[in-house]
A and B are shown apart, each in its own frame.
Chain A
């Protein structure tokens, strides 16, 4: 790996790690389920950024793009199903506060 590629990878890597930290913080500190979902989205964004830069540096952009497309499809399905679950939880409990979701009623 030459120096310019190393600098590019390290710069993008630092920002991906920082976005990952922000996503983890959002998941850990939030009590609202939608905000937790936004935190998960941020984690996926960090992974997407790392995949794209890894593909660019290694010269395998097509392979990286195909993996990212798969990731985006999985992300969309995950978000859709989770939003449905969140709506169900809101309908039953009348709240999205995770502190009120300690009882799992069937």
Chain B
């Protein structure tokens, strides 16, 4: 349990770092780090399949998407960087205080959950649950993927058409 708390603190620290850091690239790396730490937590909570998905998709694919998008943007001059740094410091300084105050307030609350827990599941295999019990989820995933593919095709197709017509 203490190990879980340490990992949770690391997760929160990487989250705050990714929000507060000046560079967008560092922010994307912080997000990947957050996903990696969340993966460790998932493994410790007996969810290895979801952990593998989190590591490969969120820490891998999405980070690559973010980094490649950031690399397409033009970099700032030193003067602009200094101006934005001051502005960012002005906007973001209150976040650590908000997090610490909210954490203290929430930890002082002693809520009592008297929720009756459901009977533990008979089928422990994720594949069985995903393919037989949650078939509508699979359908929704396929629909979402198709919608995403069509969205990207239309976005980039439109851009190519605009480039052709000048």
Number of interface residues of B (CB under 8 A): 77
By the criterion CB–CB under 8 Å, are A35 and B24 in contact? yes
Main secondary structure of the interface of A (DSSP, over half): helix
By the criterion CB–CB under 8 Å, are B69 and A25 in contact? no
Main secondary structure of the interface of B (DSSP, over half): helix
Q: Which of B57, B95, B126 contacts A22 (CB 8 A)?
A: B95
How far is the CB of A27 from the nearest CB of chain B, in Å?
10
How far is the CB of A4 from the nearest CB of chain B, in Å?
8
By the criterion CB–CB under 8 Å, are B45 and A53 in contact? yes
Give complex CA distance A29, B20 in Å.
11
How far is the CB of A101 from the nearest CB of chain B, in Å?
15
B81 within 8 A of A: no
By the criterion CB–CB under 8 Å, are A52 and B15 in contact? no
B152 within 8 A of A: yes
Q: Which of chain B's residues have a CB closer than 8 A to the CB of A87?
A: 69, 72, 155
By the criterion CB–CB under 8 Å, are B4 and A11 in contact? yes
Q: Which of A48-97 contact B (CB under 8 A)?
A: 48-49, 52-53, 55-70, 72-81, 83-88, 90-91, 96
By the criterion CB–CB under 8 Å, are A19 and B12 in contact? yes
B123 within 8 A of A: yes
Most buried by A among B16, B19, B147: B19
By the criterion CB–CB under 8 Å, are B118 and A60 in contact? yes
By the criterion CB–CB under 8 Å, are A62 and B124 in contact? yes
Give complex CA distance A67, B140 in Å.
12
Give complex CA distance A75, B15 in Å.
18
Using CB atoms and an 8 Å cutoff, list the residues of chain B in contact with chain A.
Answer: 1, 4-5, 8, 11-12, 15-16, 18-19, 24, 27-28, 31, 34-35, 38, 41-42, 45-47, 49-50, 53-54, 57-58, 61-62, 65-66, 69-70, 72-73, 91-92, 95, 98-99, 102-103, 106-107, 111-115, 117-121, 123-126, 128-130, 133-134, 137, 140-141, 144-145, 147-148, 151-152, 155-156, 158-159
Using CB atoms and an 8 Å cutoff, list the residues of chain A in contact with chain B.
Answer: 1, 5-12, 14-15, 17-19, 21-23, 25-26, 29, 32, 34-35, 37-39, 41-42, 45, 48-49, 52-53, 55-70, 72-81, 83-88, 90-91, 96
Write 29 A-B pairs (CB below 8 A) sorted by A numbering.
A6-B113, A12-B8, A14-B103, A17-B106, A18-B106, A21-B102, A25-B98, A39-B19, A42-B19, A42-B31, A52-B45, A53-B45, A56-B45, A56-B47, A59-B117, A59-B120, A60-B118, A60-B120, A65-B50, A66-B133, A68-B53, A69-B49, A75-B57, A75-B58, A78-B148, A81-B148, A81-B152, A83-B66, A84-B152
